[in-house]
């Protein structure tokens, strides 16, 4: 494929369960763009698919409409929408250099699983300063969604984009699973999300989620950034001294991770209010992680 609409395709970027994404240029403008083309695959198509192609197509178009509504520094925006010659809808976004996985690596818990990952992509923490920088921006994007009555439902590192690889600005993306009042799939009870990052209530049914479910997922992301690990069952609590953060921040993260939805902060805006009261200036935090690289990772790097 050489062209989609007016966009000249340079290279494929990513294949997902529902789309193909390409890096492209617009001859009339400078810079690169990401062109996301609707293309469901695998279990999402065919006779055994639980939901048909028309359902997912409607969700794709809904995603584009949601993204085009916002002009926020921490939300990816849609700058164009169209259909290919084959009739597949596509949307166009500014190209981002990386996502949060570039900074924290891929998820893995056991030494055996970690060993299977390329050394540069093994799980690792970031500094408290960088974790708060990313979290504050992530929460700001979520706040805009929550104030519009929307629930993201798929908060995870790969959906947290970075404008550039070196401490880039954060932009939340992938609104394909956003819960929109009255929209396709919002009340169907369809299970959506990424298991390691979703709340207990979302594991039961997406129809039960609310903005506090996003708060839980944001708490998982913060725990992962500081510790290098996911907050799985039986996890160690977020200890302030070990992670180089104020005690009140550790308590805020733990509040976001409460199993009972009603025990969490009301929404992303409330989390921001508490965070800003705890850390008015991110420079008060250290720019070095207190969590050392795992022995397995160090051994692999030395090789």
User: Hey, which residues are catalytic here?
Assistant: 154
- What's the CA angle centered on 292, arms 98 and 298, to 5 degrees? 80
Residue appearing with tokens 């944001």:
218
Are residues 180 and 152 in contact, defined by beta-carbon separation less than 8 angstroms?
Answer: no
Burial of 219 (0-12, 13-18, 19+ CB in 10 A): buried
Distance CA 246, CA 186 (A): 38
For residues 191 and 206, is the Cβ–Cβ distance under 8 A? yes
HSE value, Cβ hemisphere, 13 Å, CA-based, for 291? 23
Structure tokens at 160: 């947290």
The sheet carrying 98-99 orders its strands as 98-99, 160-162, 170-172
Burial (0-12, 13-18, 19+ Cβ within 10 Å), 119: middle
Helices (H), the chain: 53-69, 101-104, 111-115, 128-147, 200-204, 211-227, 240-243, 247-256, 268-278, 295-302
By 3-state DSSP, what share of the chain in percent is helix, strand and coil, each rounded to 5? 40, 15, 45
């Amino acid at each position: 494929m050489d062209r989609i609409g007016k966009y000249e395709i340079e290279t494929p970027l990513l294949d997902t369960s529902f789309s193909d994404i390409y890096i492209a240029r617009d001859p009339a403008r400078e810079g690169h763009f990401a062109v996301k083309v609707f293309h469901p695959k695998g279990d999402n198509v065919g006779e055994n698919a639980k939901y048909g192609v028309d359902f997912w197509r409607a969700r794709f178009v809904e995603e584009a409409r949601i993204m085009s509504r916002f002009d926020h520094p921490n939300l990816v925006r849609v700058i164009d929408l169209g259909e290919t010659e084959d009739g597949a809808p596509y949307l166009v976004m500014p190209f981002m250099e990386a996502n949060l996985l570039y900074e924290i690596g891929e998820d893995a818990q056991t030494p055996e699983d970690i060993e299977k990952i390329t050394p540069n992509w093994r799980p690792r923490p970031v500094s408290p300063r960088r974790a708060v920088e990313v979290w504050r921006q992530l929460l700001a994007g979520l706040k805009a969604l929550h104030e519009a009555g929307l629930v993201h439902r798929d908060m995870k590192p790969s959906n947290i984009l970075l404008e550039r690889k070196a401490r880039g600005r954060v932009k939340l993306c992938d609104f394909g699973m956003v819960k929109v009042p009255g929209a396709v799939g919002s009340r169907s009870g369809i299970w959506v999300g990424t298991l390691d990052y979703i709340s207990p209530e979302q594991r039961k049914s997406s129809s039960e989620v609310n903005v506090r479910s996003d708060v839980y997922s944001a708490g998982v992301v913060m725990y992962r950034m500081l510790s290098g690990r996911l907050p799985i069952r039986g996890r160690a609590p977020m200890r302030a001294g070990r992670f180089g953060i104020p005690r009140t921040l550790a308590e805020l993260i733990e509040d976001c991770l409460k199993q009972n939805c009603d025990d969490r902060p009301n929404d992303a805006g409330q989390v921001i209010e508490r965070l800003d009261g705890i850390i008015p200036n991110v420079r008060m935090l250290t720019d070095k992680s207190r969590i050392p690289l795992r022995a397995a990772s160090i051994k692999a790097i030395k090789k």
